[in-house]
């Protein structure tokens, strides 16, 4: 059984291998919205975000998390691995031997910046990029029992009891096997919670994917082709990335939070955000808009949403 490592206020968990004080996690400065929400009396409505690696919760969903917290929700993140197979930027003092511990610290720090209440690690091993030797490691996340991973997520879900569950779109953004597996297991845990509602007396109400519109991804690759035509990114087909615009069910204006989002991005010092490769203008366009696909309840013509909290109750 994989143990859970939970970041609260105060000292960073010693399992990170870093004896370093962290700043207290800031509490929300905003009151809970006055709309009717079907939750336990005095329970703050909660969003649970499930990802594969430290930085996925930030590069993929920072705007959503910060928006939800500003609207009065509690946000909790689950990260399956410590990202030990990631590349290391020269600006970081991380080494291959310390990268797991460094990225755990970055994950916790970014969570604090965003206002996340709990940053949970499931302690699996990073599987690496598609086609790399790390894929074959028996300890790699993608080689673990699907039921075990679902159990781990479901156990947290049952404890946290979120109204909303958020995870990566099924393609994993760019086909990363860990992203895909984490998304599949999060969806299965959500479905299990829904099926068990009669026994538990509780079930999450909504499931979303975080994603980027394909039109935005085309702008990203167009700029890459102009600025660095010899790079690997410039050779990729933009129509293989992002979600078709017509499949996006909710777009949030998170531009009031750009400074906070950028600060959270900067916490992942060992990693390179793709947005560091493009102009500030395009980067701010990406950061200032958050795109989601609502999976459950399945949207229809009568279920237009203006906010992630709509329909709770």
For the segment 66-123, what is each residue's pLDDT rounded down to a tens digit? 999 999 999 999 999 999 999 999 999 999 999 999 999 999 999 999 999 999 999 9
Average pLDDT, the chain: 85
pLDDT at 302: 67
Note whether residue 237 is domain-resident.
no
Q: Which residues contact 301 (CB under 8 A, 6 or more apart)?
A: none
Is 210 within 8 Å of 168 (Cβ atoms)?
A: yes
Render pLDDT for 248-261 as a digit per residue (tens, 0 to 9): 999 999 999 999 99
Does 24 score more than 50 pLDDT?
no
- How does residue 221 score in pLDDT terms, banded at 50, 70 and 90? confident
Note whether residue 29 is domain-resident.
no
Instruction: List the domain range (segments joined by +) for residue 153.
Output: 5-24+38-213+245-278+291-296
Residue (of 263, 312, 273) closest to 37 by Cα position: 312
pLDDT at 21: 38
- How does residue 39 score in pLDDT terms, banded at 50, 70 and 90? very low
Number of structural domains found in the chain: 1
Note whether residue 184 is domain-resident.
yes
- pTM for this model (two decimals): 0.84
Note whether residue 114 is domain-resident.
yes
Three-class secondary structure of residue 57 per DSSP: helix
pLDDT at 305: 86
**112: its two tokens:** 């604090």
pLDDT at 229: 78
Q: Domain holding 43: CATH number?
A: 3.40.50.10320
CA dihedral for 194, 157, 121, 31, sign (positive or negative)? positive
- Give every strand in the sheet of 118-124, ordered side by side: 5-7, 118-124, 74-81, 46-51, 164-168, 206-211, 289-296, 250-253
Note whether residue 284 is domain-resident.
no
Is 58 within 8 Å of 86 (Cβ atoms)?
A: no
pLDDT at 246: 93
Highest mean pLDDT among 22-36, 47-61, 162-176: 47-61
Strand pairing category for 206-211 and 118-124: unpaired
d(CA 275, CA 228): 14
pLDDT at 239: 79
- How does residue 16 score in pLDDT terms, banded at 50, 70 and 90? very low
List of E strands, 141-191? 164-168
Does 56 score more than 50 pLDDT?
yes
Note whether residue 53 is domain-resident.
yes
Note whether residue 90 is domain-resident.
yes
Is 109 within 8 Å of 81 (Cβ atoms)?
A: no
d(CA 149, CA 298): 25
Note whether residue 234 is domain-resident.
no
- How does residue 25 score in pLDDT terms, banded at 50, 70 and 90? very low
Does 225 score more than 90 pLDDT?
no
Render pLDDT for 137-158 as a digit per residue (tens, 0 to 9): 999 999 999 999 999 999 999 9
- DSSP assignment, residue 5? E
């Amino acid at each position: 059984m994989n143990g859970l490592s939970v970041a609260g206020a105060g000292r960073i968990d010693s399992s990170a291998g870093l004896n370093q004080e962290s700043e207290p996690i800031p509490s929300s400065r905003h009151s809970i919205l006055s709309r009717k929400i079907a939750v336990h009396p005095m329970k703050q409505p909660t969003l649970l975000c499930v990802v594969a690696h430290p930085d996925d919760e930030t590069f993929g969903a920072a705007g959503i998390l910060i928006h939800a917290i500003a609207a009065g929700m509690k946000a909790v993140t689950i990260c399956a691995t410590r990202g030990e197979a990631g590349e290391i930027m020269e600006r970081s003092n991380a080494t291959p031997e310390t990268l797991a511990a460094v990225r755990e610290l970055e994950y916790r720090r970014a969570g604090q910046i965003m206002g996340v209440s709990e940053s949970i690690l499931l302690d699996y091993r990073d599987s690496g990029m598609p086609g790399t030797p790390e894929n074959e490691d028996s300890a790699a996340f993608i080689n673990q029992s699907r039921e075990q991973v679902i159990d781990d997520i479901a156990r947290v879900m049952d404890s946290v009891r979120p109204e909303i569950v958020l995870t990566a779109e099924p393609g994993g953004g760019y086909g990363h096997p860990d992203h895909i597996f984490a998304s599949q297991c999060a969806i299965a845990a959500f479905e299990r919670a829904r099926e068990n509602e009669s026994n538990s007396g509780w079930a999450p109400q909504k499931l979303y994917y975080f994603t980027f519109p394909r039109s935005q991804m085309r702008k990203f690759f167009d700029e890459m082709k102009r600025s660095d035509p010899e790079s690997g990114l410039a050779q990729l087909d933009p129509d293989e990335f992002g979600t078709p615009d017509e499949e996006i069910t909710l777009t949030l204006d998170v531009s009031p939070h750009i400074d906070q989002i950028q600060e959270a991005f900067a916490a992942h010092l060992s990693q390179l955000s793709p947005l560091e490769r493009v102009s500030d203008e395009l980067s701010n366009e990406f950061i200032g808009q958050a795109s989601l696909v609502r999976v459950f309840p399945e949207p229809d013509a009568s279920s237009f949403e203006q906010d992630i909290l709509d329909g709770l109750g």
